[in-house]
A and B are shown apart, each in its own frame.
Chain A
Amino acid sequence: MYFTAPAAQAMESSYSVLPLLIVLVPMAGALACGLVRHREHLCHLVASAAAFVAFIMSAILFPLVKKGDVLFAFEKFIGLGLFFRVDFIGLVFALFVSFIWFLVILNSTSFKGQGHSSTRYFIFMLLTLGGCLGVFLTADFFSLFLFFEAMTLFSYVLVVHEQSEEALSAGRKYLFLGIFGGLCLLSAILLLFSQTGTVKIVSSMEALAGLGGVNYLIAILFFIGFGIKAAAVPLHVWMPRAYEFAPSAVNAISSAAMLKAGAYGLIRVYAVLFTPHDVHSGLWGITENLGYAVIWIGIVTMATGAALALSQTHAKRVLAYSSISQMGYILMGIGAAAYLGHHGAVSFAGLTYHIINHAFFKAAMFLMIGAIYLRTKDLNYDRLGGLWRSFPVTAVAFLIAGAAISGFPAFNGYASKTLLHHAIVEALEHRHITSLWFAEKIFVVTSGLTFCYILRLFTTIYQQVEPGRCFTGNRPRAAGGGAHCQQPA
């Protein structure tokens, strides 16, 4: 990042084929899965192994990245070249994404025994992993766009996995919004290339400032493209239905990784591309304007997500809107980082930490909901209740994750939300713009709302809200526990 610029320039870059391998290994794993498709346990094993190898390779990159950026270039690729450059930001993203993906694939034992669609699930999980990791490891926007499109297209197959009418219609919305976003991205990249002659991810404000209105157009197009993926309001409209009808494991990786790919793109655009090289340049003003706009979009997103989460009655929709809300925090952080310019360290730290934290606790919650779904086959609030007896371990885990997401002290969410709060306060104090005072208040209120809907989710699923209303599930041991419950009429 550019507030560490002096230190970064002293580092030396190294060349390694590892970034390309990190992308190719999951794809090779997908091919291997296809070849062993008739033995399902082997297929699951191969998929988990491929994801694990991708994680290990990202870990191996760590000492290399400490010394400097890791580069790899494949210049002959379709005439425009495929360039990888792994710096710390990309590495951190690659690490936690590959780790969580590995855990989710390991968790996917319920997907076996469904004929060819289980093979299809594992194959496309791995292909999407390859695309997602590719997003984080690239050096220029064109390569990023390539992997971004690949990720969108492969994840469509995962969203429509159930092949029900609703899943297909939700998937259609997801796909076409994704393609529309991709085309906006392509237009932005084209404009960038034709105006500045390069699409490398470096700070280019000097080149962009001279373009006048066109650079705002580029910024908007990039925002639409990445924002659709990052679930910024009002571009989030594909999310609730896609989450409701996709399998829970797919929701887990979508929340943990694919939303973050959109956020990663936005970080690269607003905190790298649209920043001037020179720390003391007067062009930081444009970056401030863009950052201010993104702060407000983040605030709107977080508030809308939290308010809508509170009114949902389907557990996965609550979590979907919760993801939207948390992405709002992250968007606000990105905006604050751009707004504060080279004073934006606290904001950048907060948003990156929140990205990691959110990946873990949201993936955990979706996997828990998935486990509950396997038992209860229904996630509507009025059909759930009293499950702490059937799912004691899950209830405790849910408490931990819920405390983290609400920002309880001593949990990771507390640290990242506090940092983000510091960021918005610093943004307020940077230029004392009144609207940011309101922004800070909305931030605080939303954090409260987050606690509210998580509490509601917890009590609805696990606690016995009304006497006589609970779902005993299929466990034979629950016979004793069911004595004081009646089935819903």
Chain B
Amino acid sequence: MHFLPTLAVVIPLVSAFFIIVFSRSNVIVSKIIAVAGAILTFLSALAMYPVVGDGSRLGIGTTHLSPPLSFFFQADALSFFMGVVFSFCFMLIIIYSLGYLEHGHAKARYLALIIFTEGAMLGIVMSASLIGFLIFFELMTVGAYLLVIHEEDEVAMFAGAKFLYMSLAAGLCIFFGMVITYFIGGRLDFVPGGYIMASPLARYALLAFLLGFGVKAGMFPVHIWLPDAHPAAPAPVSAMLSGLSIKTGAYGLIRVIHDVYGVDVVRSLSLDRTLLVLAVITILLGSAMALQEDHLKRRLAYSSVAQIGYILLGISLLTERAMFGVLLHIFSHALMKGTLFLCAGAIITQTGKKYISEMKGIGYEMPVVMMSFTLAAVTIVGIPPFNAFISKWQLALASLETGQAILVAVLMASSLLNALYYFPIISAVFMPSGAEYRKKSFIRDKVPVSMLWTTALMALLCIGFAFVQPHWPVLVASRIAASLF
């Protein structure tokens, strides 16, 4: 059992290796390896549940590199939670990619890179120390960069360059923080409750971590790579970036705040106030910018910025209920944003349309895809009884508990703004103006089967996890929240 975290990281990396080395020219074999690798990774992540479910940790270490550079894989409940969410969404994204790539180029390269990025992301969540975190963080940057520039046109190259340089800078910020942490504390691993004492030097380290993880998470003011990179990348890669990759930034923040520095230290250095202010600005700015975008994927990218603001808000509140809301939101946003980007990809594949103003009435040509879009959009606005309502409710209650009622107003305003930029899309797609549309009938979508089914499945899961609770994400999340406080 203890090898499961390592297995979860090694399987995708090995699959990537196999694709590149052995089957570069044979696309069918690459596809099989990629899908098999994704499914096996998901299963190995899921298999950790029985042990991790009751709070213990799984892991093996390697002492082949001398400390402090030794890294080992360890999974506690938080790693398990993130790992399962990541591997599940990756599985669906890779199956979707099989259909998406039908008219694409460099398929083997794409598949190798996407499964390599999965390995890197799982390495991030499964590593037990900051050094492992950083190594896999940089690997993820490389993988994601090569995926962003997959289309190899000018827009993609520019977006990719922006993404690469900012992510490298983020890595350097994290390295800076890491160095100071090692200097103060003498160790780099994650210990529940933290072990660094407060000091001015610690403040600089925390600021550096905030900046580094903030770049990855898309926090204001370093979110500027997001609205370029997400639209330029192919749709499944955007789904991965928005749904999963930005959560690694949030994960890093959670680890540093809870397992390296400790909640009291962070509070005494008032880094939580800084994060709170930045999170509020991120929420409002993301929603406001999304309102004026006509390009669908850019609008979804700004929406991701706003949603990650919710997560950062929850992290900064430093209470158990807020953390519960954060973890639930990580889970539900991965599903919702994944669905939305996969729908955007389906729209581009069938109709080639990228701008919302061109999309009048396409609900009649692609009903399944647009119904999935509707379900995900309704969920993301935070309407009960769907998923994201619960996380929003918990975050709002947590804000009231800490006596900051103004944050409730921020969350409500953000919900209204979300409705303002999602509902007109649904309305234009299904009920466009013009009497000639009233007589139209629905015809089946003309997208490849794998794309259709994965999109629909993700949308159904958005609402499927809503009605009956508590279910396992809620149980695991509440246990994690309790253990962190």
Contacts and interface: CB of A to CB of B under 8 A. Distances in A.
Nearest to A193: B397
B439 interface: yes
B416 A76 contact: no
Nearest to B396: A190
A153 B433 contact: no
B328 to A, nearest CB: 10
Interface string B382-408: 011100011001001100110001001
B405 to A, nearest CB: 8
Contacts of B101: none
A183 B438 contact: no
Interface stretch (A96-104, A161-169, A230-238): A161-169
Contact of B468 (A77, A142, A176, A183): A77
B412 interface: yes
Contacts of A171: 427
Nearest to A157: B431
Contacts of A115: 438-441
B437 A163 contact: yes
B427 A168 contact: yes
B99 interface: no
Given A149-B383, A187-B409, A194-B400, 16 more contacts: A76-B469, A78-B385, A78-B389, A78-B466, A79-B470, A80-B393, A114-B439, A145-B384, A163-B438, A165-B433, A168-B431, A175-B419, A175-B423, A180-B416, A183-B412, A187-B412
A116 to B, nearest CB: 6
A165 to B, nearest CB: 5
Interface in A187-211: 187, 190-191, 193-194
A76 B441 contact: no
B420 interface: yes
Contacts of A164: 433, 435
Contacts of A108: none
B434 interface: yes
A480 to B, nearest CB: 35
Interface residues of B, number: 40
Contacts, number: 93
A114 B438 contact: yes
A186 B412 contact: yes
A186 B432 CA distance: 30
Nearest to B419: A179
B204 interface: no
A116 B442 contact: yes
Given A190-B408, A193-B397, A77 B467 contact: yes
Interface string B165-205: 00000000000000000000000000000000000000000
A160 interface: yes
Q: Classify the interface of chain B: helix, strand, loop or mixed.
A: helix
A143 to B, nearest CB: 9
Contact of B441 (A116, A163, A193): A116
A117 interface: yes
B467 A163 contact: no
A77 B386 CA distance: 11
A172 interface: yes
Nearest to B412: A183
B450 interface: no
B104 interface: no
Interface string B412-447: 100110011001100100011111011111100000
Interface in A74-122: 76-80, 114-117
B427 A79 contact: no
B474 interface: yes
B385 A146 contact: yes
Interface in A126-167: 142, 145-146, 149, 153, 157, 160, 162-165, 167
Interface in B454-483: 466-470, 474
Nearest to B432: A163
A168 B469 contact: no
Given A78-B469, A114-B439, A175-B423, A163 B389 contact: no
Nearest to A115: B439
8 closest Cβ pairs, A-B complex: A115-B439, A194-B400, A79-B469, A117-B438, A183-B412, A146-B384, A78-B385, A179-B419
Given A146-B385, A149-B384, A180-B416, A160 B431 contact: yes
Nearest to B397: A194
A187 B397 CA distance: 10
B384 A78 contact: yes
Contacts of A175: 419, 423
Among B427, B439, B468, the most chain A Cβ lie within 10 Å of the Cβ of B427
B416 A183 contact: yes
Nearest to A182: B383
Given A115-B441, A145-B384, A183 B435 contact: no
